[in-house]
Amino acid sequence: MLDWLDRLSLPLLLILALTLGLAPFFPEPHVWEKLKMLAAGELVRPIDIFDLLLHGTPWLLLLAKLIRLLSKPRHGPSL
């Protein structure tokens, strides 16, 4: 069911999260600005919601990939 997530490269997701997920970097990362707006109840304009989705998606995919990797059963050598 989540084969598409398994096929995504972890380094690629990390690069996406650190570039698109944080851009623009100054004066503060866009995703951080939008999360603060969301917490304050000020995320109401469609462009702001789109920005949160655009800049937040790489982080969500990276988190999902890491959870999936850590939850896979490990098949070590059996004695």
Domain ranges of the chain: 12-69
**Segment 11-38 mean pLDDT:** 90
pLDDT at 43: 93
Token pair 């304050």 is at which residue?
A: 40
- Within 10 Å of residue 30's Cβ, how many Cβ atoms? 19
pTM exceeds 0.95 for this model: no
The answer, yes or no, to whether residue 31 has pLDDT greater than 70, is yes
Report the C-alpha gap between 56 and 31 in whole angstroms.
Answer: 6
